[in-house]
Amino acid sequence: MTEANNKEQLTSYKGIFKATSLFGGVQVYQILVSVVKSKFIAVLLGPLGVGIQGLYQSALLFVQSVTAMGLSSSAVRDVSEVNGSGDLSRVAIIVKTLRRLVWCTGLLGVMAVILFSPMLSETSFGDKKHIVPFIILSITLLIDQICAGQKVLLQGMRRLGQLAKASAIGSTLSLLVSVPLYYLYGIEGIVPTLILNSLTLLFLSWLYARHISLPPVKLTIKETILHGKGMLKMGFAMSWSSILVLGCAYALRWFIRSETGTEAVGLYTAGFTIINTYVGMIFTAIGTDYYPRLAAVNNDNKLTTATVNQQGEVAVLIMAPLLLICIIFMPIIVRILYSEQFLGANSFISIAAVGMIFKLGSWLIAFQFIAKGESKLFVINETITNIYFLLLNLIGYKLFGLSGLGISFTLSYLIYFIQVYLIAQKRYNYCFSNELKKIFFIQTVLLLICFGVSRFHFAFFLYPVGSILIIISLAYSIKELDNRMDLKSMVKRILKNNK
């Protein structure tokens, strides 16, 4: 490899690490805020209240996935592409089109929730007592959609610092709004809290997006439809995926409630939040920068493969030690994040943590379908996937309870990982680099050994041995990251600048 190629790779890895670190730092901060928030909610509301909140949010997210048309994801590609051209007039046209579309889809969501509120109440809670709360909460679909449009603008225009600030401040304000309301009103505070949280995020996204200056443009309705057609086409495919995911999540929560009650939904919601929000923070940190970068090189399969593999190496090295920590110290983590009442979720979380490494791999590969605009392939792939995801979840819970959901989570993502790899290999000649194979294999072996150790519930054995495995995984990650981007020099430079 030439010196020029070495420098190019070093720059690429540093760019990936910098973007991941930026949003990873925000995610860590958001997690710390969420720890405090979740603790208060768990104590003030208990499993029943957490279950009720989870059912409200699942129902609303399902309707939103149907009516939002996936604009929050598909429009990033359009804004990124026109922004890369440097033509601000084209950017202004796309942005104005997007703003009109988010208003239309947001209002559609409001009307859908109002119209189907009796059915949402009946299917979510088994009664008609929650019709009015659903009608009141319908406004959040419009608020969230407008907010999503502002965030697309920030992401597509590469204003990542401002997007990170909006996210961090939003988490803080959400805590300050939620805790007093739950303290004063308990379960009755759920509805006003969800509405105020949405309004807070809207205000923050507007506060930062308003600084982006674009030339004024006039668009007729016909022109809006013409320019929005591409967004809506890919957006429909991504919306279909969201519909399936949230529909399956909604069906699963309904099944759990029917089988064992609302408190069981609360335990599952707590476990799912830990594994997908706290542990899965790396997905948000990666996706904000990864998607636009991948879209920029989507016409070149070699560059696409290199981008996926480089991102994969950094992502696995960062996430693997977190998963080992999750497996070994989960009982302590659950007590800190929630309370003793939620320890029943531990079995689901520890097993699902193994599946997260396969989720990461499949997620990185499947992004190629979106970046290349393969809407038909994306729809077919996600439809098949969600069918067996739901079936395995229902079977897993029926047979083994929450532990069964952990098993089905891991098995589903292993199947999905193999599935998307074979598709990408055939269509785009994608293959793992030797470096990614090595990193993925070593960290997965450490993860499986760690999981095996976690089956021993004796603290005097579990924590010392588990800690050794965590140190090995962390040391290996630091060594490999240092080989790619000279971490030692970066740290020395940061320390020198801070003196």
Reported as a single tens digit per residue, the pLDDT across 429-449 is: 999 999 999 999 999 999 999
Tokens at residue 459, please?
Answer: 């603290």
413 in a domain, yes or no? yes
Predicted pLDDT at 91: 78
Report the alpha-carbon distance of residue 96 to residue 218 in Å, rounded: 9
Q: Residue holding tokens 């998963």?
A: 323
Is residue 423 in a domain? yes
Rounded CA gap, 329 and 458, in Å? 13
- Residue 316 within a domain: yes
Residues of the chain with pLDDT under 70: 1-31, 34-35, 38, 81, 83-87, 158, 160, 277-281, 284-288, 337, 457-459, 486-499
- Please give the residue range of the domain that contains residue 63: 8-498
Give CA–CA dist 244/240, Å, rounded: 6
pLDDT of residue 75: 74
Q: Which of 385, 384, 386, 404 is nearest to 396 (CA)?
A: 404
Number of other CB atoms surrounding residue 468 within 10 Å: 12
Nearest to 381 by CA among 409, 333, 326, 419: 419
pLDDT value for 89: 78
| Cα-trace Rg, the chain | 23
- Could you give the residue ranges of the DSSP H alpha helices within 138-214? 139-156, 160-185, 190-209
∠ CA 488-489-493, nearest 5°, is 120
Residue 413 identity: Y
If one counts the domains in the chain, the total is: 1
Q: What is the pLDDT of residues 455-487, one digit of tens each?
A: 876 667 888 999 999 999 999 998 988 887 766
Q: For residue 213, is it within any domain?
A: yes
d(CA 144, CA 195): 10
Query: Is residue 1 situated within a structural domain?
Result: no
Residue 2 falls within a domain, yes or no? no
Predicted local confidence at residue 248, as pLDDT = 86
Q: Is residue 78 part of a domain?
A: yes
Cβ atoms of 35 and 177 closer than 8 Å: no
